[in-house]
Amino acid sequence: MGLVVFLVLMALSVPLVVAIMRANELFCLRHDGARLRVVRGRIPHALRDDLEDVLRRGGTGSLELRAVVEDGRPRLYASCRELPRPLRQQLRNAIGRFEVAAIRNAPRMRR
């Protein structure tokens, strides 16, 4: 009986943990090597275009980009740890032009 209660509590807590982890997330994007698409969140069209351009010129394969709020500024994380340093800097430069409020207030993009 105790195990069943424990499993039920764990199953109910998973959505809460996911929500807490995503509380500071601005957006999540997937790049398939050719196209950048919005998975979650809001992103200004100009920022999406800039990121797509950087990734296209950088010749990257598939990866996921997540933007989060850290110290009141947007910060970008890539799922691919092998991104060349110049490419990482270009991605940081692209997102650094935007304030958190501008990203949060962007219209929803079609997926």
Greatest CA separation found in the chain? Answer: 58
Any domain includes 110: no
Residue 1 lies in a domain: no
Q: Is residue 92 one of the residues assigned to a domain?
A: yes
Q: Per-residue pLDDT tens for 46-66?
A: 999 999 999 988 877 789 999
Q: How far apart are CA 100 and CA 68, in angstroms?
A: 9
User: pLDDT for 3-56, tens place per residue?
Assistant: 888 777 777 777 766 566 657 899 999 998 788 999 999 999 999 999 999 998
Domain count, the chain: 1
Let me know if residue 17 belongs to a domain. Answer: no
Q: Is residue 31 part of a domain?
A: yes
Show the domain range for 55: 25-104
Amino acid at the residue 12: L
Distance, in Å, from the CA atom of 16 to the CA atom of 3, rounded to the nearest integer, reads 20
